[in-house]
Structure 1
Amino acid sequence: MRQNPSFAMTDIAELRRVIEQNPWVTLVADTDAGLVASHYAVLLDEERDDLTIVGHVGRPDDAVLGLGERELLVVVQGPHGYISPGWYPPGPEVPTWNYVAVHLAGVPEILSPAENLVVLERLVARFEEAMPQPRLLWEPPNDAEFLTRLERGTVGFRLTPTRVTAKRKLSQNRPDAVVDTVIAQLEAGSGPYADPRLPMEMRRAHEALRAARGVS
């Protein structure tokens, strides 16, 4: 991902927030057979305050990715959406795409079976908590034998990134009035590109920029 200083994200708290809110990621590895991509959910390591993530892959994806043996690129895709030139003042313009993305790269550590089970338990709890009647990992009819078989079919990993590239392209190069119009159009939109999270990210980014400039 090509970086632009105007769009760079460097604040660890903000990066952690983006990862936490967008746990479905793409894992990319450069293998002897060429580039390979897989898709899994990850979580921030609850025992760390950096950008370390934990997750798992199903067998044989660990072998396909060369997990633990080579660098892994984790692509976190945040809110994104189409920005129409019709939302700008009259004049020559082209459309663009606003987005938030975080790339984490490093060689992952393979977890022990016990550590992997903890991660699996956390993953289930993370996504079941929104259900009206959550089914947690250790609740009946799941039993120890079933969970042992489940764990053996997966490989857990922990990745502490050695390279981080994060980008928040949210119309920071536009005047405040234009940004406000784009946000209003996104919030009112119901088309195929509408994502209510995108204007929220834009508000967050531009409120920080305006506060830095002393603009209310």
Structure 2
Amino acid sequence: MPRAIISPSVLASDFGQLTAECKRMIKGGAEWLHMGTLSTALHFVPNITMGAPVLSCVSKGVPGIFMDCHMMVAQPEKWVNDIADAGGSLYCFHLEATSDPLPIIEAIHSRGMKAGVAISPDTPSAAVADDVAAAADMLLVMTVYPGRGGQKFLDRCLPKVTELRARFPDKDIEVDGGVGPATVDACADAGSNVIVAGTAIFGAQDPEGVIATLKATVNKAQARLAK
């Protein structure tokens, strides 16, 4: 299995001190930062948060940062160039937002970014076709519904992680939504190696300790699964 990666969700940070918050996470042991961008499109996500200008500011303020950009947007092909120009490292879009994912993956790669494909809670893992998964660098299983804050972790989504791990043993598989110390064990046991956590990290008195705990949990699960 690929290595454990913790990607703190910047949506849970103090936006008034965004650059400082990102630096704090990197210093605390995070390798990636999860930048969730929500769309104004009513048929997908009804609100908007971080766009390319914000990402550009973060990229300039924290040189070398790996921005894990989760694009919860309609027509994801429209934003590839903007996110690349802003310094995005990985561009993850939703299968539900397109009928033709392969050209989008090609466009992402052509701009020097890694490509991720996400599925929402009601989308089965079978929707991720073999050729799409092979082209993508990462698969993301949402464990809450996109665009709604404060939701409870949906453990019914975890079998999809297990199914995807069985099909794609060497692929980065990320979980996002309601993940923290109380739920990371189940995510790691299901086969996720990339953990997104927001409030559990940014709201903690000891974020460095939380990051270390999450990573250690994934490493232990991987050791068990390898036996």
TM-score normalised to the size of structure 1? 0.22
Larger Rg: 1
Which structure has more RCO (C-alpha within 8 Å, separation ≥ 6)? 1
| Richer in helix (by share) | 2
TM-score normalised to the size of structure 2? 0.22
